[in-house]
Structure 1
Amino acid sequence: MRHDDNFKIMGQKVVLVPYRKSHVPKYHEWMEDEETLRLTGSDRLTLDEEFEMQQKWAEDNDKCTFIILDGELWKTSEGNEVTAMVGDTNLFFNILPSSNGEEEEDAQQCPYSVAEIEIMIAEKSARRKGLATEALTLMMTFGKEELGVQKFIAKIKEDNESSIALFEKLGFREVERSKTFHEVTLEKHS
């Protein structure tokens, strides 16, 4: 989803900025970590593939990706986004076809009414400081107020207990467990 280069969502602890080309090398470093790959259910990509993915995600209307900046680091580094990067948060929009193969009526009226939401705090030193809570709250507010999201869905690996607890703290409720994918699905209506 395209955003102006100066677009920012400001919080007290974090700043959310659109995922840009300048962020890719550090993001790629994060995604070299085995635990991060496992907990996020991600595939390892080459740096070139990561650059391609960033470009595609910036242009796709069914994805909204922001890099999470530690607000204090961002200020002390004089606005250096790469230095302040600690994670990312995403909204993915799915317009599901109805049984006759056409888009659902609700989706035609508001294609962003349902969004899958994700978060990753990749910098281990930034965990357990409330950054993820604020980033998710900002992302949900943005999704609701700017995009019309009415329901958020989170799919989390079942052994990622801290992430499940975070979403439950924010009012998400478990609706499904997949033994095949080893994940828990939680939902929250806005």
Structure 2
Amino acid sequence: MRINEDTLLQGHRAVLVPYTPAHVPRYHEWMQSEELQRLTASEPLSLEQEYDMCTSWRQDADKCTFIVLEREQWDAGAQEEQCMMGDVNLFLTDPGDPSLAELEVMIAEPRFRGKGVGTEVVCIMMSYGISKLGIKKFQVKIGLENQISINMFKKLHFSEVSVCKVFQEVTLELQVEPAVQTWIQDRTSHVQERDYRESCKRRKPEHGLDQD
């Protein structure tokens, strides 16, 4: 999505940056995992297809994608590919209702799971969706076996609305009422929004990503 192509969102543990071609090799490596394919209901793609997908997602008006970096490594000047933990996405799935977004989050690196990273990332993404995209309802679809993710979203006040036994997934939703919006704003008051390209320029040249 063009709106976030130069946006960096910095939280306590995670930094969200636009998905660029420099991130594709690591992402492609993740998606060879049968576990991640199963949890994300994804099919493996070739490296060339991943690059095409990256380009498409940056241009499509109905997809907003960020790569999730570990802030500690990123602050230390490590290359972004070395800091990658996962990704987070918003999909505008209903052309007739641009205020509805399907939310997806993947913490691909096992060592970062169960540490609250996913919760922080989801809250940052919801705050961004509300303030920049006018989202009024968030929806998630999760495989029934992924109880950890289901529990995380329920703790974030998502409510179960349906179960599809055919696809073995549960759908949960969160309506952005005023009290919910205030709650999300409070949880993300620490988040700093910066210009991604300017942030890359300020980092040491040997640690930056080639954005050409």
- TM-score normalised by structure 2 residue count: 0.80
Q: How far apart are the structure 2 equivalents of 1:84 and 1:169?
A: 27
Matched, 1:176 2:175: no
Q: CA deviation at 1:39?
A: 0.5
Q: Deviations over 1:91-128 (max 9, x none)?
A: 000234xxxxxxx4xx3xxx2x0000000000011111
Contact 2:5 2:58 in 1 (8 A): no
Matched, 1:161 2:164: no
Q: CA deviation at 1:3?
A: 4.6
What secondary structure is seen at the aligned counterpart in 1 of 2:152?
Answer: helix
Matched, 1:11 2:28: no
Q: Quote the residue 1:59 is aligned against.
A: 59
1:1-190 maps to which residues of 2 (within 5 A)?
1-3=1-3, 6-76=6-76, 78=77, 80-96=79-95, 104=96, 107=97, 111=98, 113-190=99-176
What secondary structure is seen at the aligned counterpart in 1 of 2:29?
Answer: helix
What secondary structure is seen at the aligned counterpart in 2 of 1:8?
Answer: strand
Q: How far apart are the structure 1 equivalents of 2:40 and 2:113?
A: 15
Aligned CA RMSD, in angstroms, stands at 1.2
Count of matched residue positions in the alignment of Structure 1 and Structure 2: 176
| Structure 1 unaligned residues grouped into runs of 5+ | 97-103
Q: How far apart are the structure 2 equivalents of 1:175 and 1:75?
A: 40
- TM-score normalised by structure 1 residue count: 0.89
Task: Give the direction of change, closer, same or farther, for the CA distance of 1:137–1:4 in structure 2 (3 Å limit).
Answer: closer
What secondary structure is seen at the aligned counterpart in 2 of 1:181?
Answer: coil
What secondary structure is seen at the aligned counterpart in 1 of 2:42?
Answer: coil
Contact 1:69 1:85 in 2 (8 A): yes
Contact 2:140 2:172 in 1 (8 A): yes
2:174 maps to a residue whose letter is K
Q: How far apart are the structure 1 equivalents of 2:73 and 2:171?
A: 33
Contact 2:4 2:64 in 1 (8 A): no
Task: Give the direction of change, closer, same or farther, for the CA distance of 1:5–1:176 in structure 2 (3 Å limit).
Answer: closer
- After superposing the two structures, state which structure 1 stretch, 3-12 or 51-60, moved more: 3-12
Contact 1:3 1:18 in 2 (8 A): no
Could you list the structure 1 runs, at least 4 aligned residues long, displaced by more than 3 angstroms after superposition: 3-6
Q: How far apart are the structure 2 equivalents of 1:67 and 1:162?
A: 21
Q: How far apart are the structure 1 equivalents of 2:148 and 2:94?
A: 30
Q: CA deviation at 1:10?
A: 1.0
| Structure 2 unaligned residues grouped into runs of 5+ | 177-212
Task: Give the direction of change, closer, same or farther, for the CA distance of 1:4–1:94 in structure 2 (3 Å limit).
Answer: closer
What secondary structure is seen at the aligned counterpart in 1 of 2:94?
Answer: coil
Q: CA deviation at 1:170?
A: 0.7
